[in-house]
Amino acid sequence: MRGQVRMGERPAEAAGGGGVDRGLTMGKRTKVVAIGIVLMVAVGAVWVAIAGRFADAREQARATSCLSNVKALGLAMLMYSRDHDDQLPPRDDWECRLAPRAKGALIYDCPSTSGDDARYWHQVHVDGVRWSRFRLGFACSAEVAGQAVSGFEERGTTPMLWDATPDGEPAFRHGGQASVVYLDAHAARVEVGTRLGGR
């Protein structure tokens, strides 16, 4: 009979439910937990891959911005020379001399520099603009500073400004590359070991 429980029979079997096997239930739970762990690991791996791509894209954007900044500074150097009888600014204060032609303080910095990786300089007034303290992530070549542009025959291979450490040495911040602007105003990235001339 349907409503009665016989000896040795479980209530679910008596009700016609076919019964629940505890061993099978534990096996299903183990499988569900294992699938959950596998899914968590897979989601984690996807997240790490996406985060890595975002980091790569962010560094690529910084490198592009750095190249743009050094190119703009190179153009400012050449504008300065046109206004000063073909002479480039002197090395000891090229930053100050370019300020009227620069597009603000941020142009003097490589976006990948940190506080310890750049030197700072102060400028009180430049043509009525007050700039207090900001990072300088580039160095000017001692070989071209204060010289006449027309005195250089190989302008396309003569570095003018580059990504630099606080002591003026080339800084290869962008995946082993540094941004450089040459005397003909073209900018490029160069590999570690490239000689960039005197600082």
Give the integer Cα–Cα distance in Å for 28 and 47.
Answer: 28
Question: pLDDT tens digits, residue range 21-71?
Answer: 555 566 667 777 778 788 888 887 777 777 666 667 777 888 888 899 999
Instruction: State the pLDDT at residue 184.
Output: 93
DSSP code string of 129-163: EEEEEEEE-EEE-TTTTTSBGGG-S-GGG-EEEEE
Q: Which two tokens stand for residue 19?
A: 């019964």
Strands (E), the chain: 119-126, 129-136, 138-140, 159-163, 177-182, 187-191
Q: How confident is the model at residue 2 (pLDDT cuts 50, 70, 90)?
A: low
- Using CA of residue 185, residue 189, residue 195, residue 199, what is the dihedral sign? positive
Q: Taking the domains of the chain in order of start, what are their residue ranges? A: 41-191
Question: pLDDT tens digits, residue range 123-151?
Answer: 545 555 555 556 788 889 999 999 999 99
Q: Residues of the chain with pLDDT > 70: what percent? A: 70
For the full predicted model, state whether its pTM sits above 0.85: no
Over range 152-157, report the average pLDDT.
90
Enter the DSSP assignment of 16: T
Over range 162-172, report the average pLDDT.
85
